[in-house]
Amino acid sequence: AEEKTEFKLAWSIYVGWMPWGYLEDSGIMDKWADKYGIDVEIVQFNDYIESINQYTAGAFDGVSATNMDTLSIPSGGGVDTTALIVGDYSNGNDAVIMKGEGGLADLKGKPVNLVELSVSHYLLARGLDSVGLEESDLDGVINTSDADMIAAYATDDVDAVVTWNPLVSEITGSNPTANVLFDSSDIPGEILDLMVVNTETLAGNPSFGKAVAGAWYELMSLMAAGDEAALTAMAEASGTDLAGYKAQLAATEMFYDPAAAVAQSTSADLPTTMTSVAEFLFDKGILGEGAPSADFVGIAYPDGSTTGDAGNVKFRFDTTYMQMAADGAL
Amino acid sequence: MSFVTVSNVWQKYGDRSILERVNVTIEEGEFISIVGASGCGKSTFLRMLLAQERPYKGEISIDGGDTAKEPNRERGVVFQKYSVFPHLSVRENLIAAESFDTAFGRLSGAKRKAAEARADEMLERIGLNHVADQYPASLSGGMQQRLAIGQAMTAKPRILLLDEPFGALDPGTRLQMHDFLLELRDETNMTVFMVTHDLQEGFKLGDRVLVFDKPRWDPHDPGMYGATITYDFDARDGGIPFQLKEDADVSA
Amino acid sequence: MSFVTVSNVWQKYGDRSILERVNVTIEEGEFISIVGASGCGKSTFLRMLLAQERPYKGEISIDGGDTAKEPNRERGVVFQKYSVFPHLSVRENLIAAESFDTAFGRLSGAKRKAAEARADEMLERIGLNHVADQYPASLSGGMQQRLAIGQAMTAKPRILLLDEPFGALDPGTRLQMHDFLLELRDETNMTVFMVTHDLQEGFKLGDRVLVFDKPRWDPHDPGMYGATITYDFDARDGGIPFQLKEDADVSA
Amino acid sequence: MRLINLIPARPAAIFLAALPFIAIFAAYSIGSDIRLEANPQDKLLPAPSTIAETAQRLFTEPDRRSKEIFLWNDTFASLARLFGGVGISALLSLLIGLAIGLLPYARSTMSSFIAVLSMVPPLALLPILFIMFGLGETSKVVLIVIGITPFMTRDLAQRVLEIPQEQIVKAQTLGASSAVIAMRVALPQVLPRLISNVRLSLGSAWLFLIAAEAVASNVGLGYRIFLVRRYLAMDVILTYVIWITILAFIIDWLLKTLSRKAFPWMESGL
Amino acid sequence: MRLINLIPARPAAIFLAALPFIAIFAAYSIGSDIRLEANPQDKLLPAPSTIAETAQRLFTEPDRRSKEIFLWNDTFASLARLFGGVGISALLSLLIGLAIGLLPYARSTMSSFIAVLSMVPPLALLPILFIMFGLGETSKVVLIVIGITPFMTRDLAQRVLEIPQEQIVKAQTLGASSAVIAMRVALPQVLPRLISNVRLSLGSAWLFLIAAEAVASNVGLGYRIFLVRRYLAMDVILTYVIWITILAFIIDWLLKTLSRKAFPWMESGL
Ligand SMILES: Nc1ncnc2c1ncn2[C@@H]1O[C@H](COP(=O)(O)OP(=O)(O)OP(=O)(O)O)[C@@H](O)[C@H]1O
Ligand SMILES: Nc1ncnc2c1ncn2[C@@H]1O[C@H](COP(=O)(O)OP(=O)(O)OP(=O)(O)O)[C@@H](O)[C@H]1O
Ligand SMILES: [Mg+2]
Ligand SMILES: [Mg+2]
C-alpha cells in the first residue's frame, strides 16, 4: 500500500476510549508521531456510529470500536480492518437493568429499551440465552438513543433497559429500584474495545502502528500509576468527575499492560466469541442482505487461524505492535 | 324632533385634534353629502356616526337614543373598498345581512328559504340577478359597490353611511351609480350620509352638503385645532352654489 | 413619408383572434387617442407598438425601421400603475432614465452631476421639485403619474405610449393631469399614443381618435374574429362628434 | 435580444427541466463507480442498480421473521404521526390565531408569548417531553406540535389581522356577534392560508418526526434510517430518502389541489 | 359590547403579556418541587434556583483545565457556523432566485429541480455530507445551506416573479440590459424579502446546526447539549435552551431593525 505521513483516527466518548482524547490534548500523540516522522490527528465524534461509518467510508485511517461493530460495519462492508490495540473488555460496563425486583426470566413479555443492533443488543441476547429465552419472548425491543436513555428510564413506559456506562452508573445511582439483571462481567472478554485501523494502511506504514501503540501504552502506564492530572482531564472530558470516572474504570478491564492485551488477543476463547457475535449479527440481518451465512466474513487470529470464510478475511487480530510495546521495542 | 343629533362633538388622536365642536341635526330621509379637504376628518366623522369609534367629547344620538358604543344594525355602511365578503357568493352576501344576526351566523329551513327569496328580490333591484352565484372578485368595481349597497340595505338600517363609495370607479360607471343611488332613494326614503371628494357629485346627490374645514389655525402647531362644519348648503336645487366654484378642487 | 406605419397587423392568443388587419399611419408629433370596448385589444395594440410582444402577422415600423423585437429607448411608456420604481426616490427615478442605459446601471462623477441637473430641470417642469427626495409611495396618484411621464420623457423616446394613464385618478386630479399633458405637448411636439376609457378625454387631448371594434362577429365562436380600427376621427377641433354621443359610454 | 426576453420553446423547456436531474444522477453514478472500483463491497455509494434492487425488495418482500413488509409499516406509522401532529397543529394554530387576530385581550396575552415560544429549539427539550408524554406515540406527535405550531399561529394571527377592518365593521353593522365574525368572516378567509401554512411547515414536521423516531421507536421511516445507519446500508437509506421525498411531494400536491378546489372565491378574480 | 371591541388598558395589557410567562414558570416550579420532594437527587426538573446557579457558573467560571469559559466558546463556534450557513444560503438563494425569476431559461432549468430538492429530508443525508465535506466546519455549514436554501430560493424567485411586469418593461424602455434590470430593479426590491426569509429560516437553521453539532463536533451549543444529555444535566440543558432562545430573539430583532432602517421606501407609504 502507499506510504503516507498523515493519519487520522476517530474516537467517541466511552470510558475505555477517553485516553484517545487525552493523547491528542496532552501532546503525547504528537511526541510519538514526531519520533516516527509522521503526523497523527485524533478527532472526537459525538456520535459513535457516525465515527465508524466515516472510517468505513475511508475518511479516517482508524477508529475506536467494539469487536462487534467492527465486524458488522467496516468488515461487513468490505474494508479490511485490523485490531491494532485491544484496549479493554467490558467487565460490568454494559448491563441489563430492570425496574424493581426480579431476574432475567421476568423480562418475558416486557418491552426492553436499548440501542438496537449495538453491543447492548448482543448482551441482551446472551443474557436471554442464559435463561433459555429468546428475543421473541419479549414484548419487543425499542430502539432508544443512548443520549436519551436516562430520560427514557425515568418514564413509566419503560420497564427495562440495556445500556453502557456512564449511563449505567447514572441510572443505578439515581434510581434506588434499578436492578441490574445481567452485565458484561457475566460474559468476560466478549465485548472488546479496540482501536481498529485499515489493514492496508497499516501494512504500508508500520511507523503508524508503532507511533500509535507507543503513545497509547505510555498513557496506559500513567493511568496505571494513577496519574491524577491525566485521569481528571479524561473524567471532565467525558462529562463526569474523577470519582465518577474511577467508578466507571472499575467496571472496565483495562489492559494497562500490553502483555495482557496480547494475551487477550491470543486467548483461545476469542474465536468462539467472534463466531457467536457473527451469528448474532447474521440473525439480525446486519451482515447485509447479500450475506449468505454467518461465516460470510472471515476473521483471522494472531496465530494465523481463521474463522468464517477464509477467502474473505476482513477482520484481523494482530498483536505485532502490542507485542512491540510489551517488549519495549518502540 | 330631529332624527340624528350631533351635539358638540370633538375628536382627538393622541394630542392631535381632528374635529371640534361639530353640531348638526338631520331629519329622517335626508341625504347628506360631506365634503372637505383630504385628511380633514370626514371619515373620522363617519366612523363616529357608525360608532366604530366614540367621540372624545359630545353626543351623537339617533332618534333620541344614547351615543352608541359599537356598530350595530341601526347603521349600515359602504366603504370605498372591501365592503363585501369575498368568500361569499353574491347571493350569500345578501343573505349574510340576515343570517349574521343569528347565534351561529347561519339560517336554515324555512327562514333560509325566505331570506333567499328576499335576496333574489334585492338582486333584481340592484340588477345583479344574472351573477347571483358568482364571487365578488369576478364582478366589476361598480357591481361590487352595488352589491355592497344592496347588502347594507337588506339589513334595513336606520341610517346609511357611505365613505367615498364611488371613489375607485371610472367616470362612466360612476354616472351609472349615481342614477342607481337616486333611484334607490326615491323608492326607500333612507337617511344617508355620503362622504365624497367630488363636489359635483355631492351636490348632485345630496339634499344638504356639509363642508368640513379648520376654522382656526395655529401656524406653530397644525395639530392644535380640529376641523368642523364650516358650510351647510341646501342642495335641493341640484346645482353648485356659485361662490364655491373656486373651492371646487378640494381634492387636489 | 409617415413616421409610424402599422401595416396589416394581426394578433392571436392561442386560437383566439384579438386584432386583425390593423392598418394605420401616423405623422410625427401627432397625439393619437385610442378608445374601444373593454377587452377589445387596445392594450394589446399598445404592447405591440412597444414591442413587448410581436404581431402574429404584419409589420410595425417607426421611421422606416423594422418591426422591433423588444422594448427599447425609442419607445417610452406609462401604465396605469407601477410605472415608477418604488425603491428609488423621485429624483433617482428620473436619473434612472439615463443611468439604466449604461453597463452597470449607474452613473458617476461628472455624468452623474449632469444627469442630476437635468433631473432637477425635469422636476421643475413636472412640478415635483418639492418632493425630490421622497419615495413614490408617499406621493399621491397624480404625482406618481406625473413622475412616470417625466421619467419616460427623460429618456427622449421617439414615441410615447400611455395605457389609461389617468384611469386610477379621481376626477379633479384627472383634469389637472390633462392640463399638464397639454402643456407638455405644446412644449415638445411628441408623438403620443394614449389608450383611454373616457371618450371625452380622448377627444380633448388627441389630434386623432382611433376606435377599435370587431367588424365581424361569429355568434358561434366569439374568439373567431378580432377587432380592428373601425373609426379614425380628426379631433383637432377639440369637440366630440355629434354622431358618437350615444356610444360615449364604451366603458360600461 | 435581452436574456430576460428569451423564452425556450416547448421541447427545449422539457429538456432543460430534466437536465439537473440527469446531471445529479450522472454525478452519483460516476462517484459510485469510482468507489466500487476501489472496493467492490463499498456501502457508501451503492450502484444505482443496487438501489433499484434494494428498493424493489423493500417494497415487495416481507421480512423473513415477521412476515411483514417493513417499508409499508414504517410508512403508515410515520404518516399517522405526521398527520396527527400536523392536524393538531393546524387546529391549534387556527383557534389561537383567530383569537389573537380578533380579540385584543387574547392578543395582549398571547402574542409575545408565542413569539418567544417560536424561538425555543424543541429538540433540546426532548427529555422533558418524554417525562411528560411518555416514550410512545404521544411524545412524537407532541414534538411535531411544539415544533410547528408557534410559527403557524403567528402567521395565521397576522393574516387575521390583515383582514380589512372594513369587513369586520361591516359584519358588525349586519348584527354579527364576535363568534359569528370569527366563524363566518375570519375563519373562511384564513382557511386557504392555513393550508399554505401546513404546506410550508411540512418540511419542519418531517424533520421533527425523523428526529423523534431516531430517539425512541420501533417502527417508522426515521427509525429505519437511523437503525440501518448502524451498518451503513446506504442503499436502504437512499431508498427511504427518495421515498420520503416522493411522499412529501404527493402530500404537497394534494394540499395544493385541495386549496384550489375548496376555495373557488380565491381564484375567480378578473 | 362584543369581545372584539374590548381593548385592555395599558397596565392590564402589560400584566396580560406577562401572564403566560408567569404561568409557565409557576408550573415548572411546582413540577420541580414535586419531583425533588420525592427524590432530592432528581435531575430532570432542577429547581429554578439551581438553574440560576448553574447559569451563573456557566457564564462566568472558566474551565479549570483550559481556562476557557465553555459557554462562550460554544456560542462563538455555533454563531460562526450559523452565520456562515445562513449567509451562504442568502447569497445563493438571491442569485438563483433572481435568475429563476427573471430568466425564462433559468426558470425552465431550475424551478422544478428546486421544488423537488426542497422536499428532500437533509438529516438523512448527513453521512454522505460528512464524507463529501469532512468533519470540520464545512459540513455543518453545508447542512444548513442544503437545509434552508431551496425554501428561500423558491420564495425569492416567487417574489421576483411578482414584481409588476410594468416595471420590467419600463426599465427596458429606459435602455436597461438584463443585468441592469437584475441589479437595479429586481435586486433592491427583493432584498427586504430576503431579510424576512432569513428570519423565517433561522429556526430551521438552528435545528440543522444543533443536529450537525450533535453528530460530530467538540465545541458548539448543540454539542454541549448532547454531551450533557447523557447525564441528564437538565440545569445545563435548560440554561443552554434559554440562552439559544435569547440569541434567536436578538438575531431576529436585529434583522427586523435592519430591514426597517435599510429600506425606507417600504414604509413611507401614505
Ligand atoms: N386611528 C387614527 N389614529 C391617529 N390618527 C388618525 C387615525 N385615523 C385618522 N387619523 C388622522 O386623522 C386625520 C383625519 O383622517 P380622516 O381619515 O378622517 O380624513 P378624511 O377627511 O377622510 O381624509 P380623506 O379625504 O383623505 O379620506 C388624518 O390626518 C389622519 O391621519
Ligand atoms: N397574454 C395574453 N394571453 C391570452 N389572452 C390575452 C393576453 N393578453 C390579453 N389577452 C386577452 O386579449 C383580449 C384583449 O386584451 P387587452 O388587454 O388588449 O384589452 P383592452 O382593450 O386593453 O381592455 P381594457 O379596456 O379592459 O384594458 C382580452 O380578451 C384579454 O383577455
Ligand atoms: Mg376618508
Ligand atoms: Mg387595457
Domain ranges of chain E: 67-262
Alpha helices in B126-228 (DSSP H): 141-154, 171-188, 199-205
What confidence tens digit (pLDDT) does each residue in B193-212 have? 999 988 888 988 999 999 99
pTM for the model: 0.86
Beta bridge partners of C231: C211
Report the 10 Å Cβ neighbour count for A48.
23
Q: If you measure from the C-alpha of residue B37 to the centroid of ligand 3, how many angstroms do you get, rounded to a whole number?
A: 10
- Ligand 1 atom 22: residue of nearest CA: B43
For residue B44, give the ligand 1 atom closest to its CA. Answer: 18
Average pLDDT of every residue of chain A: 89
User: Which range has the top average pLDDT, A130-144, C14-28, D82-96, D255-269?
Assistant: D82-96
Band of pLDDT at residue B32, cut at 50, 70 and 90: very high
Could you list which residues have their CB under 5 Å from ion ligand 4?
C 43
What's the pLDDT score for residue E270? 39
Q: Are B35 and B240 in contact (CB under 8 A)?
A: no
Q: What is the pLDDT of residues B55-104, one digit of tens each?
A: 999 999 998 888 889 999 999 999 998 889 999 999 999 999 999 999 99
Measured in angstroms, the CA of E3 and the nearest CA of chain B are apart by 11
Give the residue-averaged pLDDT of C193-202: 90
Q: What is the pLDDT of residues D117-155, one digit of tens each?
A: 989 988 888 878 887 888 888 989 999 999 999 999 999
Cβ-defined contact of A57 to E43 (cutoff 8 Å): no
| pLDDT score for C16 | 87
Whether residue A141 contacts residue D227, with contact meaning beta carbons closer than 8 Å, is answered with no
Q: Are C116 and C95 in contact (CB under 8 A)?
A: yes
Contact list in C for residue B249 (CB cut-off 8 A) is 172, 176
Q: Is the CB of B149 under 6 A from ligand 1?
A: no
- Strand pairing report for D216-217 and A141-144: antiparallel
Backbone angles phi, psi at B31, to 5 degrees: -110, 110
What is residue E161's predicted lDDT score, i.e. its pLDDT? 94
Q: In what order do the strands lie in the sheet with C4-13?
A: C16-26, C4-13, C57-62
Phi, psi (5° rounding) for residue D195?
A: -65, -40
- Mean pLDDT across chain B, nearest whole number? 87
Residue among E63, E216, E229 minimizing CB distance to A148: E229
Q: Can chain C be said to touch chain B, i.e. do they have 3 or more Cβ pairs within 8 angstroms?
A: yes
Give the residue whose CA is nearest to atom 7 of ligand 1. Answer: B13
Could you read off the pLDDT of D175-205 as tens digits, one per residue?
999 999 999 999 999 999 999 999 989 989 9
Spell out which residues of chain E touch residue A242, defining contact as CB-CB under 8 Å.
none
pLDDT attached to residue D71:
93
pLDDT at C239 over 70: no
Q: Measuring CA to CA, how many Å separate C191 from each of B15, C66, C181, C197, D123?
A: 53, 18, 13, 20, 67
Q: Write down the residue that cell numbers 465485548 correspond to.
A: A191
- The predicted pLDDT at position B248 comes to 43
What was the pLDDT predicted at E211?
A: 85
Of A117, A158, A289, the CB nearest to D227: A117
The number of residues in chain A equals: 330
More confident residue, C79 or A147: C79
Confidence of residue B192 (pLDDT cuts 50, 70, 90): very high
Cα–Cα distance, A8 to E216 (Å, whole number)? 15
- What pLDDT is recorded for position A310? 86
Backbone angles phi, psi at C46, to 5 degrees: -65, -40
Please say if the pLDDT value at position C68 is more than 60.
Answer: yes
In percent, the amount of chain D with pLDDT more than 70 equals: 98
Indicate the pLDDT class of residue C237, thresholds 50, 70 and 90: low
Tell me the three cell numbers of residue E265: 421606501
| Residue in chain E nearest A229 by alpha carbon | E65
- The ipTM assigned to this model is 0.84
Mean pLDDT of all residues in chain D? 90
Superfamily of domain E67-262: MetI-like (1.10.3720.10)
- In the three-class reduction of DSSP (H, G, I as helix; E, B as strand; rest coil), residue B23 is classed as strand
Helices H / strands E in chain A, number of each:
14, 14
C194 CB-contact burial (10 Å; exposed 0-12 / middle 13-18 / buried 19+): buried
Q: Look at residue C149 and tell me whether its pLDDT is greater than 50.
A: yes
Alpha carbon A222 to its chain's center: 22
Q: What is the pLDDT of residues C42-61, one digit of tens each?
A: 999 999 999 999 999 999 99
Give the Å distances, CA to CA, from D21 to A62, A208, C170, E116.
Answer: 36, 43, 53, 10
Cα–Cα distance for residue pair E228/C178, rounded to 1 Å: 76
How far is B137 from C135, CA to CA, in rounded Å?
A: 31
CA–CA–CA angle A259, A262, A267 (5° rounding): 125
Q: Which of C198, C225, C204, C206 is nearest to C214 (CA)?
A: C225
Least confident of B92-106, C184-198, E127-141: E127-141
Pairing of strands C57-62, C4-13: antiparallel
Nearest CA to ligand 2 atom 4: C13
* D270: confidence class by pLDDT, cuts 50, 70, 90: very low
Three-state SS string over chain C comes to CCCEEEEEEEEEECCEEEEEEEEEEECCCCEEEEEECCCCCHHHHHHHHHCCCCCCEEEEEECCCCCCCCCCCCEEEECCCCCCCCCCCHHHHHHHHHHCCCCCCCCCHHHHHHHHHHHHHHHHHHCCHHHCCCCHHHCCHHHHHHHHHHHHHHCCCCEEEEECCCCCCCHHHHHHHHHHHHHHHHHHCCEEEEECCCHHHHHHHCCEEEEEECCCCCCCCCCCCCEEEEEEEECCCCCCCHHHHHHHHCCC
Predicted confidence band of residue B245 (pLDDT cuts 50, 70, 90): very low
Q: C92-110, pLDDT tens digit by residue?
A: 999 999 999 999 989 998 9
Whether E88 shows a pLDDT value over 90: the answer reads yes
* Residue D78 confidence (pLDDT): 96
- Per-residue cell: C120: 432637477
Measured distance CA(E137)–CA(E213) in Å, rounded = 10
Written as nine digits, the cell of D269 is: 378574480
Q: Dihedral (C-alpha) D157, D162, D164, D165: value to the nearest 10 degrees?
A: 60
Structural domains of chain C in order of their starting residue, each with its CATH number:
1-74+158-243 (3.40.50.300), 81-156 (no CATH)
Quote the pLDDT of residue E59: 92
CA atoms within 13 A on the CB side of C49: 34
Q: Does E173 touch chain B (CB under 8 A)?
A: no
**B contact set with E (CB within 8 A):** 69-70
pLDDT at A1: 59
Q: Look up residue A275 and give its three cell numbers.
A: 463466531
Ligand 1 site, residue B41, Cβ cutoff 6 A: yes
pLDDT tens figures, D59-80: 998 877 678 888 999 999 999 9
Verify whether ligand 1 is closer than 6 Å to residue B162 (CB atom). no
- φ, ψ of residue A262 to 5 degrees: the values are -60, -40
* CB nearest to E151's CB, from D118, D172, D203: D203
pLDDT at A239: 74
Contact D89/D201 with Cβ under 8 angstroms?
yes
Decide: D3 and D10 in contact? Cβ < 8 Å.
no
Rounded distance between C-alpha atoms, residue E80 and residue A243, angstroms: 36
- For residue B47, which ligand has an atom nearest its CA? 1
Q: Which of C127, C118, C124 is nearest to C145 (CA)?
A: C127
What number is the average pLDDT over the span E211-239? Answer: 83
Ligand 1 within 6 A of CB of B44: yes
Percentage with pLDDT > 90 across chain C? 52
Q: What percent of chain D has pLDDT over 90?
A: 66
Q: Which residues contact A254 (CB under 8 A, 6 or more apart)?
A: A16, A87, A88, A220, A223
Contacts of B182 (CB under 8 A, 6+ apart): B205
The pLDDT score that the predictor gives to residue B86 is: 93
In angstroms, what is the span from residue C71 Cα to ligand 2's centroid? 19
Q: Is the predicted pLDDT of residue E65 greater than 70, yes or no?
A: no
Tell the residue nearest (CA) to atom 19 of ligand 1. B39
Q: Which chain D residues are closer than 8 Å to E112 by Cβ?
A: 17
Q: Report yes or no: D239 and D69 within 8 Å, Cβ to Cβ.
A: no
Helix H or strand E encompassing B25: strand B16-26
Write the pLDDT tens digit of every residue in B221-243.
777 788 999 888 887 765 555 44
Å from CA of B44 to ligand 1 middle: 6
CB atoms within 10 A of CB D145: 23
Q: Give me B201's grid cell.
A: 357629485
Burial of E116: CB neighbours in 10 Å, binned 0-12, 13-18, 19+: middle
- Summarize the confidence of residues E71-83 as an average pLDDT: 94
Size of interface A-D (CB pairs under 8 A): 91
Residue pLDDT, tens place only, C106-136: 999 899 999 999 999 999 988 898 999 999 9
Predicted pLDDT at C212: 92
Q: Extract the C-alpha cell encoding C25.
A: 399611419
Q: Is the pLDDT of residue C220 over 80?
A: no
Test the D interface: residue of B100, B133, B149 with most D CBs within 10 Å: B100
